């Protein structure tokens, strides 16, 4: 053992191990905050001022979206909202499918309520398409609020009413809703995403409401007051891949509140496979890296104007964004301690997984209890979220004796035996799994990109974990940003599967 790996050096390694527990420790606090949302909610679930609803222009960017617009336009027109106070503006980004013809028919079907704007030259990205629509909407004084959404998103009848009620508070600049994955019939990937969305919104955004700082307005459900948009310059940021997050930060930095309404529900179709998810989330993750770089001076700097600089928000943001780095550092430190044959490695490993187990169990149970509909649809994926291998490690830490006997019997049944070398190898594998699971998830993605794995991809993801796949995507975003890869806005293909659920 080298001289540096003694005394203080070993304790430094233990500190690196425990970096892996920081995100889940923050998650535990998040659940506690979310539990307090009932007493800190902006409005009660059914409290709506029916006497004064603002005039809302719904802005939809569309490129080759005929498959979903034929249903979502009708649903928007059927909302429980005064017809004379709701207009739908679809900005056609030079579509090459049936979108122009479809929107011409819809404009004729709903005269004065559905407007079709077509860009002569498209392909510049979502933000440019939105800005084209915003220029038209803000050119006159009709719209008192603008709801930015996606072509495939279907709003439940009362959702826009519930969103607009928050605008009665002049301190509120923007509102976002609870977007649910609603593909019908759902496959294994849709169910994973459905649970993830519930955890991120029903738990995460409720906690952010209580803390008074929102990380992001959902891109498919962001309602802005006219005043907020005008004070932001009347345009959406075009320099990043996360224009919705930039808008969220700028709104709050200007002293206006951003509110999440968990009672306003929207339905959306999400990717059905690993490659589709990777493509979508790589864009999101790169956008978050860009946002973190742009607003780096905001975090951990308390302000009287906004709450983005408060410690918990900074911990929440950075522990999520740096989770892959924490996992690699933690695993590397554990493996080093294993080779050093230091007992502190075993103790740190147990503490790390106890904290992570607590965060996982608490978040999973709370999320499933908060939304019973999501629970019925996704409970299997909720418990399989970290992957079977990680679940075995969790059980090993929480119930060492029965798991020791189970693993021993499995090894002996497979002919591996149960000598010191086998036990040491299993310990080393467990110590390094925090980083290795991301590599395994990346390999699943590579396999799926070569040949569509179909249901077998679900089997592999069950073993490796959906959570590790998200971490692998974030790690890939680090690499893409470090390489200076071209930042392009790639459209997620939608097929209209949400129409059945709606």
Residues 294 and 377 in one domain: no
CATH of the domain at 194: 3.90.550.10
Indicate the Cα dihedral angle 114, 118, 123, 126, nearest 10°: -30
What per-residue confidence (pLDDT) applies to 125?
A: 84
Tell me the HSE value of 110 on the side-chain side, using a 13 A CA sphere: 21
| Residue 361 within any structural domain of the chain | yes
Structural domain contains residue 437: yes
- Residue 28 is assigned to a structural domain of this protein: no
Q: Say which range, 32-46, 132-146, 224-238, 463-477, has the weakest mean pLDDT.
A: 32-46
pLDDT value at position 502? 43
Q: 25 in a domain, yes or no?
A: no
Task: Give the tens place of pLDDT for each residue, 324-381.
Answer: 999 999 999 999 998 887 788 889 999 999 999 999 999 999 999 998 889 999 999 9
Residue 185: cis peptide before it, omega within 30 degrees of 0: yes
Give the pLDDT of residue 442: 98
What is the mean predicted confidence (pLDDT) over 204-219? 94
pLDDT at 375: 92
- Position 219 scores a pLDDT of 87
Domain match, 83 and 192 both: yes
Beta bridge partners of 154: 267
pLDDT at 42 over 60: no
d(CA 115, CA 107): 6
Residues 414 and 444 in one domain: yes
Average pLDDT over residues 100-123: 92
User: What band does 4 get if pLDDT is binned at 50, 70 and 90?
Assistant: low
Confidence class for position 490, pLDDT limits 50, 70, 90: low
Residue 228 lies in a domain: yes
Reported confidence tier of residue 136, pLDDT bands at 50, 70, 90: very high
Residue-wise pLDDT for 56-94, tens only, equals 999 999 999 999 999 999 999 999 999 999 999 999 998
- Residues 85, 163 contacting (CB under 8 angstroms): no
Count the neighbouring beta carbons within 10 Å of the beta carbon of residue 211. Answer: 20
Q: Where are the alpha helices (DSSP H) in 199-273?
A: 206-211, 226-231, 243-253
Q: Give me the percent of the chain exceeding a pLDDT of 70.
A: 93
Residue 2 clears pLDDT 50, i.e. is over it: no
* Chain segment 343-357, per-residue pLDDT in tens: 888 899 999 999 999
- The verdict on 189 and 327 lying in the same domain is no
d(CA 66, CA 99): 5
For residue 234, the tally of other CB atoms under 10 A from its CB is: 14
108 & 238 share domain: yes
Q: Torsion-angle region of residue 417: left (phi > 0), alpha (psi -120 to 50) or beta?
A: left
Per-residue pLDDT, 44: 57
Total count of domains within the chain: 2
Closest CA to 90 of 63, 125, 71: 63
CA distances in angstroms from 150 to 1, 90, 118, 154, 492, listed in the order given: 58, 10, 16, 9, 11
Is the model's pLDDT at 433 over the cut of 50?
yes
Backbone φ and ψ of 179, nearest 5°:
-90, 125
Do β-strands 172-181 and 221-225 pair in parallel, antiparallel, or remain unpaired? Answer: antiparallel
Structural domain boundaries, residue 105:
36-305
Asked if the model's pLDDT at residue 255 lies above 60, the reply is yes
Q: How confident is the model at residue 1 (pLDDT cuts 50, 70, 90)?
A: very low
Q: What's the mean per-residue pLDDT of the chain?
A: 91
Same domain for 224 and 331, yes or no, is no
Q: Are residues 112 and 151 in the same domain?
A: yes
Q: What is the 3-state secondary structure (H, E, C) of 319-338?
A: HHHCHHHHHHHHHHHHHHHH
Question: Can you give the pLDDT at residue 500?
Answer: 46
Confidence band (pLDDT; 50, 70, 90) for 122? confident
- Quick one: which of 347, 338, 289, 346 has its CA closest to 318? 289
Task: Assess whether 109 and 196 both reside in one domain.
Answer: yes
Same domain as 70, residue 16: no
The pairing of strands 145-149 and 221-225 is: antiparallel
Residue 244 in domain: yes
- pLDDT for 495 equals 67
501 part of a folded domain: no
The pLDDT of residue 499 is above 60: no
Supply the pLDDT for residue 343.
80
Looking at the structure, do residues 460 and 396 belong to the same domain, yes or no?
A: yes
């Amino acid at each position: 053992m080298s001289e540096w790996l003694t005394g203080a050096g070993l304790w430094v390694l233990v500190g690196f191990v425990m970096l892996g527990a920081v995100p889940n420790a923050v998650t535990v606090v998040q659940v506690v905050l979310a539990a307090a949302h009932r007493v800190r909610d902006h409005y009660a679930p059914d409290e709506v001022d029916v006497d004064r609803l603002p005039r809302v222009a719904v802005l939809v960017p569309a490129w080759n979206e005929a498959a979903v617009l034929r249903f979502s336009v009708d649903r928007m027109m059927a909302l429980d909202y005064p017809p004379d106070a709701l207009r739908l503006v679809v900005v056609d980004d030079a579509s090459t499918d049936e979108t122009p013809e479809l929107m011409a028919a819809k404009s004729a079907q709903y005269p004065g309520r559905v407007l079709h704007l077509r860009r002569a030259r498209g392909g510049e990205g979502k933000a440019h398409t939105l800005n084209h629509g915003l220029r038209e909407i803000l050119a006159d004084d009709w719209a008192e609020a603008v709801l930015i959404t996606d072509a495939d998103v279907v709003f439940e009848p009362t959702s826009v009413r519930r969103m607009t009620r928050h605008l009665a508070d002049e301190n509120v600049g923007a509102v976002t809703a609870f977007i649910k994955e609603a593909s019908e019939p759902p496959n294994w990937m849709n169910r994973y995403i459905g649970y993830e969305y519930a955890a991120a919104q029903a738990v995460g955004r409720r906690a952010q409401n209580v803390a008074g700082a929102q990380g992001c307005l959902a891109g498919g459900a962001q309602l802005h007051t006219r005043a907020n948009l005008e004070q932001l310059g009347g345009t959406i940021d075009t320099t990043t891949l996360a224009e919705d997050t930039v808008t969220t930060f700028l709104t709050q930095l200007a002293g206006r509140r951003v509110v999440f309404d968990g009672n306003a529900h929207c339905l959306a179709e999400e990717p059905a496979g690993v490659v589709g998810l990777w493509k979508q989330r790589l864009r999101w993750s790169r956008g978050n890296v860009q946002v973190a770089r742009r607003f780096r001076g905001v975090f951990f700097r308390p302000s009287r104007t906004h709450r983005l600089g408060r410690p918990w928000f900074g911990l929440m943001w950075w522990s999520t964004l740096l989770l892959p780095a924490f996992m690699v550092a933690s695993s590397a430190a554990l493996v080093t301690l294993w080779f050093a044959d230091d007992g502190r490695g075993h103790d740190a490993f147990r503490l790390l997984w106890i904290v992570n187990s607590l965060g996982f169990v608490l978040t999973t149970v709370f999320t499933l209890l908060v939304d019973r509909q999501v629970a019925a649809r996704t409970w299997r994926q909720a418990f399989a979220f970290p992957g079977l291998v990680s679940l075995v490690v969790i059980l090993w830490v929480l119930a060492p004796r029965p798991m020791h006997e189970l693993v021993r019997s499995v090894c002996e049944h497979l002919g591996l035996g149960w000598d010191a070398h086998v036990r040491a190898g299993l310990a080393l594998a467990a110590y390094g799994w925090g980083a290795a699971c991301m590599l395994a998830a990346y390999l699943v993605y590579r396999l799926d990109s070569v040949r569509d794995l179909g249901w077998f991809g679900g089997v592999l993801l069950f073993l490796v974990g959906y959570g590790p796949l998200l971490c692998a995507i974030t790690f890939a975003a680090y690499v893409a940003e470090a390489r200076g890869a071209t930042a392009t806005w790639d459209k997620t293909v939608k097929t209209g599967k949400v129409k059945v659920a709606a």
